Amino acid sequence: MRLLFALLCFCSSVAPLQAVPELAQQRLDFQHARAALRSHDVSHFQQLYGALAHYPLQPYLSIWRARQQLDHDRLVGDVLARFGDVPEAWDLRRAWVIQLAKRHKWQQLDAQFRAHPYLAKQLPETDMLRRWHAGQRQQALAAFSIYWQQHRRISHYIRPLYHAWQQAGHPTLDERWARVNMLARARRWAQVAWLARPLPAAQRAGLMQWRTLQRYPQRLLQQWPKHLQPALAWMICDDVIRRLSWRDPAQAYEAFQQLLQRRAVTPTAAQRWQLQRGVALRAAKRHDAAAAAWLAALPEAYQTPETRAWRARLALLADDWAALQQVVHAMPAEEQQLSRWRYWLAMALQHQGAVAQCRQLLQSLAGGRGYYSFLAAETLGRKPRFSAQPLQMDAAQLQQLRQRAGIQRAHEWLMLGYRHKAAREWQAALTDADQRVWGAAAALAGEWQWHDQVIRALFHADQLDVLRARFPLAYGQQVAQSATESGLAREAVWSIIRQESAFNAQARSYVGARGLMQLMPKTARRLSHQLGMRSHHLDLYQPALNIRLGAHYLAHLEEQFGSLALAAAAYNAGPDRVRRWLSRSDYRAPAVWVETIPFRETRRYVQQVMAFMSVYQWRQGKPTSSLVMRLSGVRTVAWNRPTH
């Protein structure tokens, strides 16, 4: 049976005698072959396999069949040799390598790792084992030391190497403390207790006090352990101060200063300033005015773009325009040139009466496109500029792209409805593409109505002015219906879709949000009940349902918070966080409030959605409404101030 399948793999490169079936029939046969393979119907599978010799996805059948026979090394090797460029072959190779290790095929295993270095990063345990058995024992032991210190789980698979490592005199005291530190920070105290058994009693007692301080970090000064080894003292200080800073940054900052004064800890300069910087940034993100001085006190070597940005934001919150101007002028040149700081420097100049300088800065911004450019244009009384351009594309390059096997496989997966597999093939085929090829890829993805890949391709092609393709009016009927039902403007719905999923209806985030508007299942169920829907199963990958529920949720948030900008912040970060942020700084100056959102992701999200709304108004042929009014909570209205 295996010999027959290997023969089929070989013969698939030879043109069949019968005529090639129609593509629709090939797609149907492919799916039937896949089902036959899953059900181990070998006879039916072989019959269908032969008929698919020229179908782009036939290599997948070979790969999946080989995956079922990982102990047949020659067959797997032949399939990988023929189809190694197919992304799913990478999964086959990985599974085969693990199987080789389990069967102690060390020579073959070593050859695979040498030929494919990426395997070492994906399979560190297997890499250490093959090094050990290839005679690279010191390298294997050194790699295992790092692995062990990072509190990785020691699986049964790698336990023989663990025993050899122990027999070689490990763990050393330093290695033991490194693992203790990682485990304690992860609050895995049962493992800490076991690992600390060889340590002196005083150090074990210190570890138990560390455990108590993790639960009650506010007691740090009162219950600071005595007679600690310096390394352990710093571990406790670093961990507990960080934990305390999440609750009360001011108390954390003061406690750290007192520990330094008492010489209870003796950190290196890097340890001290990195911890102090982290506490100061947490205070800044809670809008604590004292954080401005703490950030300013950091030595220049420990200043970062983030510390400088938060010094500027704290000046904004304090309405201290002179301090803002000073902070921006002290930034490195590349940071000063960011549109964010050019805009806020212009505002600082305006508040200090330097009108001509302010206007000059705003004019340099207003010709661009984006959140700050639109704000600058509005401040000058101008309409936003969109600078839309057609796609620049080489027809010959497009034709060459169509002939690539990976691109053809991507198209077939797309037609079969497997967007994830299609995207994997697409990205693999374009790994080394230059801007000309990406331009052709954007045109091809546009033909396929593959909007998210059009958007990405245009970014790689550096053709950001192709606005009609980058901001499609896709799912127009569903958007119009949901906007009417929810009371939202269509551009608000499209902007959220564009920001959340880039129009990928099958998008799924790492936390489980799904579909075009990235809804969590629990939220979607609650929304469906509010809308009187009876279905117990919600297919959030179905565009009409996802858009309806997402628009309803956004409208609910806008009604709750009184502003679409706040609603967008709540959509991204959650309503509870937005309420907490509003308790720290009110919304009287909306642009300042948005600029000082603690989460960088949410800040950018709100700014993008607000700017996208302007673009989507333009895409619909509507007059562009005031971005300032939109931030303030005024419903979208036409804004036609004269140009000066």
Between CA 101 and CA 112 the distance in angstroms is: 11
Local structure of 572: helix, strand or coil: helix
Amino acid at 517: M
Instruction: Please state the φ and ψ torsions of residue 519, each to the nearest 5 degrees.
Output: -95, 140
Q: Is the separation of the CB atoms in 497 and 481 below 8 Å?
A: no
Give the Å distances, CA to CA, from 397 to 154, 350, 394.
51, 50, 5
Question: Any idea how long the chain is?
Answer: 644
500 carries an active-site annotation: yes
HEC readout, 204-264? HHHHHHHHHHHHCHHHCCCCCCCCCCHHHHHHHHHHHHHHHHHHCHHHHHHHHHHHHHHCC
Instruction: Please state the φ and ψ torsions of residue 625, each to the nearest 5 degrees.
Output: -85, 165
On the question of a cis peptide bond just before residue 171, with omega within 30 degrees of 0, the verdict is: yes
Cα 200 to its chain centre, rounded Å, is 44
Give the Å distances, CA to CA, from 172 to 168, 186, 234, 378.
10, 21, 19, 65
Q: Which residues have a Cβ under 8 Å from the Cβ of 256 and sit 6 or more positions away?
A: 237, 241, 275, 276, 279
Between CA 110 and CA 401 the distance in angstroms is: 36
Between CA 27 and CA 481 the distance in angstroms is: 34
What tokens appear for 329 in the block? 């002028």
CB crowding 292-318: b at 16 or more within 10 Å, else e: bebbeebeeebbeeebbbbbbbbbbbe
H-assigned helices in 103-172: 106-115, 118-122, 124-133, 137-149, 159-167
What is the CB neighbour count within 10 angstroms for residue 40? 8
Between CA 136 and CA 467 the distance in angstroms is: 56
Could you say which of 125, 378, 412, 500 is catalytic?
500
What is the CB neighbour count within 10 angstroms for residue 336? 13
List the catalytic residues: 500
